[in-house]
């Protein structure tokens, strides 16, 4: 199930051993290819697909793999491939909705090195960095941190400060972002168009590794963060001309059950007006943990509606991993 290694970055874009302050070969070998199969009736199958692929970084001597959670969310089977061609099954050990991190426990010996963890907070905008995936130097890229900014995703996801790098690449899900010393400072999420210095540029968003340290032990023990889950609405909203418009509704989710419809405009939470995704999420999450009732003010066909949504824990809607 290994990935055909047909593509490669131009030689000038690839990091070279004599240009780095760390053991480049060791860092490259700490990356694995992640392949996951998700049942067709999984809650995320319609939006994320049933056959998912990306990367993962080995972060401990026991082979623990850190990746981006959407790759393995609801996975029934996971396969990990090392640069040496070793293929082992993996177990979806944990997923944290708030950060987006996912953990995989190899069910066999990968026999690869692990990446030391650094601090994204020590990295400054303009610093050089390296992004690496599975496949050796041909799948590694010299890059630069172009922004450290808030990021809000329509799927009810918010980071106070994410890392953004350029040049961009469309397939960095689960890839490792390394600082100049070769320490892991972020895990790749997605390709975005981000405003940097007043200009919209294509960049890759990375989840800062700093968010992992406070929750890692709990994730290993319980499969999730120690923090109470945020209230989930099952409602994807989009910023359109400074307006929040409801897009996709999760089938059977809280918002759909409450009678919210695609195309509704979100005006506020209770009496608090909201105009951005970040404002919406913070207002909802301020009400309490999952299960709290969320009073929404909406506009539909010229009318103002007030609909109360009984929020939920998104994890309750997801398929759980099978024990091997």
Query: How do residues 227-249 score in pLDDT, each as one tens digit?
Result: 999 999 999 999 888 899 999 99
Longest Cα–Cα distance in the chain: 65
Q: How many CB atoms lie within 10 A of CB 39?
A: 13
CATH number for position 165: 2.40.10.120
DSSP for residue 230: P
Residues 56 and 119 in one domain: yes
Domain final position from 173, 198, 224 = 224
**Position 289 in a domain:** yes
Last residue of one domain, picked from the residues 224, 254, 269? 224
User: For 83-120, how does the pLDDT look when each residue is reduced to its tens digit (9 = 90+)?
Assistant: 999 999 999 999 999 999 999 999 999 999 999 999 99
Asked whether the predicted pLDDT for residue 196 surpasses 80, the reply is no
Which of 177, 202, 224 delimits the end of a domain?
224
**DSSP letter (8 states) at residue 232:** B
* Structure letter (DSSP) for residue 291: T
Residue 307 forms part of a structural domain: yes
Looking at the structure, do residues 196 and 276 belong to the same domain, yes or no? no
Domain match, 180 and 272 both: no
Regarding whether 266 and 172 lie in a shared domain, the answer is no
Mean pLDDT along residues 212-219: 96
Stated pTM of the model: 0.94
Percent helix / strand / coil, the chain, rounded to 5: 15, 40, 40
Domain-embedded: residue 273: yes
* Same domain, yes or no: 159 and 30: yes
What pLDDT sits at residue 323? 58
Q: Is 101 in contact with 220 (CB distance < 8 Å)?
A: no
In a domain, 323, yes or no: no
Helix (H, G, I), strand (E, B) or coil at 154: coil
| Per-residue pLDDT at 5 exceeds 60 | no
Provide the residue range defining the domain that includes 199.
Answer: 1-224
Q: What is the DSSP string of 59-118?
A: -STT--EEEEGGGTTT-SEEEEE-TT--EEEEEEEEE-TTT-EEEEEESS------PPB-
Residues 56 and 88 in one domain: yes
Q: Is 67 domain-assigned? A: yes
Could you give the CA distance from residue 211 to residue 268 in angstroms, rounded to a whole number? 29
Q: Give pLDDT, residue 7.
A: 87
Number of domains in the chain: 2
Contact (Cβ atoms closer than 8 angstroms) between residue 30 and residue 74:
no
Q: Is 324 inside any structural domain? A: no
Distance CA(33)–CA(141), nearest Å, equals 16
Residues 134 and 34 in one domain: yes
Cβ–Cβ < 8 Å for 131, 188: yes
Count Cβ atoms below 10 Å from residue 316 Cβ, excluding itself. 11
Give 124: exposed, middle or buried? Use CB within 10 Å, 0-12, 13-18, 19+. exposed
* Per-residue exposure over 61-73, b if at least 16 CB sit within 10 Å of its own CB, e if not: eebbbbbbbbbbb
**Main-chain dihedrals φ then ψ at residue 54, nearest 5 degrees:** -175, -145
The pLDDT score that the predictor gives to residue 295 is 98
In a domain, 102, yes or no: yes
Grouping H, G, I as helix, E, B as strand and the rest as coil, residue 306 is: strand
Query: Does residue 152 lie within any of the structural domains?
Result: yes
> How many other β-carbons are positioned within 10 Å of the β-carbon of residue 158?
17
pLDDT of 315 > 70? The answer is: yes
Q: Evaluate whether 162 touches 205 at the Cβ level (below 8 Å).
A: yes
Same-domain pairing of 55 and 124: yes
**Do 139 and 275 reside in the same domain of the chain?**
no
CATH of the domain at 261: 2.30.42.10
Over residues 9-58, the pLDDT tens digits come to 999 999 999 999 999 999 999 999 999 999 999 999 999 999 999 999 99
Looking at the fold, whether 262 and 291 belong to one and the same domain comes out as yes
Whether residues 10 and 153 fall in one domain: yes
Same domain, 68 and 149: yes
Q: Where are the alpha helices (DSSP H) in the chain?
A: 24-29, 45-48, 216-222, 254-258, 277-285
Q: Write the CB contacts of 96 (distance below 8 Å, at least 6 apart in sequence).
A: 69, 102, 215, 219, 224, 225
């Amino acid at each position: 199930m290994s990935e055909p290694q047909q593509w490669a970055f131009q030689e000038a874009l690839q990091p070279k051993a004599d240009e780095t302050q760390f053991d480049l070969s060791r860092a490259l070998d700490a990356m694995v290819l992640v392949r996951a199969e998700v049942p067709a009736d999984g809650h995320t199958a319609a939006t994320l697909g049933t056959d998912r692929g990306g990367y993962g970084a080995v972060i401990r001597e026991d082979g623990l793999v850190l990746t981006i959670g959407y790759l393995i969310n609801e996975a029934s089977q996971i396969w990990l491939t090392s640069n040496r061609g070793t293929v082992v099954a993996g177990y979806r050990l944990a997923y944290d909705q708030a950060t987006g991190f996912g953990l995989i426990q190899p069910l066999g010996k990968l026999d690869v090195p692990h990446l030391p963890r650094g601090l994204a907070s020590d990295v400054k905008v303009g610093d050089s960095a390296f992004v690496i995936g599975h496949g050796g130097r041909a799948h590694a890229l010299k890059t630069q941190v172009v922004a450290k900014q808030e990021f809000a995703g329509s799927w009810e996801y918010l980071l106070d400060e994410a890392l953004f790098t350029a040049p961009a690449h469309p397939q960095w899900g689960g890839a490792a972002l390394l600082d100049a010393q070769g320490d892991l400072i972020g895990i790749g999420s997605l390709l975005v168009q981000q405003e940097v210095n007043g200009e919209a540029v294509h960049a890759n968003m990375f989840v800062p590794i700093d968010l992992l340290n406070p929750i890692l032990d709990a994730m290993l023990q319980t499969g999730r963060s120690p923090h109470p889950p945020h209230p989930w609405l099952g409602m994807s909203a989009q910023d359109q001309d400074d307006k929040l418009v409801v897009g996709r509704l999760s089938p059977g989710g809280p918002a759909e059950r409450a009678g919210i419809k695609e195309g509704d405009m979100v005006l506020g939470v209770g009496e608090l007006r909201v105009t951005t995704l970040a404002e919406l999420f913070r207002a909802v999450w301020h009400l309490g943990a999952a299960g709290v009732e969320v009073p929404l003010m909406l506009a539909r066909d010229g009318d103002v509606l007030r609909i109360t949504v009984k929020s939920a824990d998104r994890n309750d809607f997801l398929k759980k991993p099978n024990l091997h």
